[in-house]
């Protein structure tokens, strides 16, 4: 299946939770999903035999900057059985960055969600071990946010190089 066919399948199944299909961007076309529905859509894509998206290749956070009031999370999925791929994208307000976890669908999401939490501060509800993975537990802030201010010192050590 190509991404447009997958989009039509998701519209039929999830209706208004499927917010759009963007095929004009450079790179892979993506299907926009409402944040509350992202786990249900992923579950459907993984468990439906005709789709069989058994691989989460990447899950990434995105902060487009101060003018944009939302964070996005992008999911790159692949089917090893049918050799097709799809990109899902969901967005949530920066004031309340919460999404349901998909770590119960794909084990690799455990690490990807922890990294996204660590660097962007996006919380994945239902994740069994959401804690920092790259930075120390007592680090303040989320370094990949565009509004992040690097501290001068951490535990008495100068931070900037």
CB 1 within 8 A of CB 48: no
- Domain boundaries of the chain, sorted by first residue: 3-158
Q: Looking only at Cα atoms, what is the longest distance across the chain?
A: 57
Q: Where are the alpha helices (DSSP H) in 15-155?
A: 38-47, 109-120
**Mean pLDDT, residues 5-19 taken together:** 98
CA torsion angle 159 93 12 14 (round to 10) = 90
CB 114 within 8 A of CB 133: yes
CB 103 within 8 A of CB 119: no
CB 70 within 8 A of CB 94: yes
Residue found by looking up tokens 């468990």 in the block: 47
Q: How many CB atoms lie within 10 A of CB 137?
A: 6
The share of the chain scoring above pLDDT 90, in percent, equals 88
Q: How many CB atoms lie within 10 A of CB 134?
A: 10
**Cα atoms in the 13 Å half-sphere on the side-chain side of 96:** 3
pLDDT at 161: 63
With vertex at residue 11, the alpha carbon angle to CA 8 and CA 16, rounded to the nearest 5 degrees, is: 155
* Architecture of the domain defined by 3-158: 2-Layer Sandwich (3.30)
pLDDT of 38-79, one tens digit each?
999 999 999 999 999 999 999 999 998 777 899 999 999 999
With vertex at residue 120, the alpha carbon angle to CA 68 and CA 37, rounded to the nearest 5 degrees, is: 75
pLDDT of 70-107, one tens digit each?
999 999 999 999 999 999 999 999 999 999 999 999 99
Question: What 8-state DSSP symbol labels residue 141?
Answer: S
Predicted model pTM: 0.94
pLDDT of 103-125, one tens digit each?
999 999 999 999 999 999 999 99
């Amino acid at each position: 299946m190509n991404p447009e066919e997958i989009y039509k399948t998701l519209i039929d199944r999830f209706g208004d939770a499927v917010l759009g299909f963007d095929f004009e961007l450079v790179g892979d076309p993506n299907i926009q999903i409402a944040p509350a529905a992202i786990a249900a859509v992923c579950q459907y894509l993984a468990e439906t035999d005709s789709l069989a998206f058994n691989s989460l290749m990447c899950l990434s956070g995105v902060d487009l900057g101060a003018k944009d009031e939302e964070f996005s999370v992008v999911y790159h999925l692949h089917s090893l059985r049918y050799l097709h791929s799809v990109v899902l994208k969901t967005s949530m307000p920066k004031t309340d960055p919460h999404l349901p976890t998909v770590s119960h669908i794909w084990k690799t999401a455990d690490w990807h969600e922890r990294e996204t939490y660590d660097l962007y501060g996006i919380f994945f509800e239902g994740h069994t071990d959401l804690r920092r993975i790259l930075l120390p537990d007592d680090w303040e802030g989320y370094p990949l946010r565009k509004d992040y201010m690097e501290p001068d010192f951490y535990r008495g050590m100068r931070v900037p190089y």
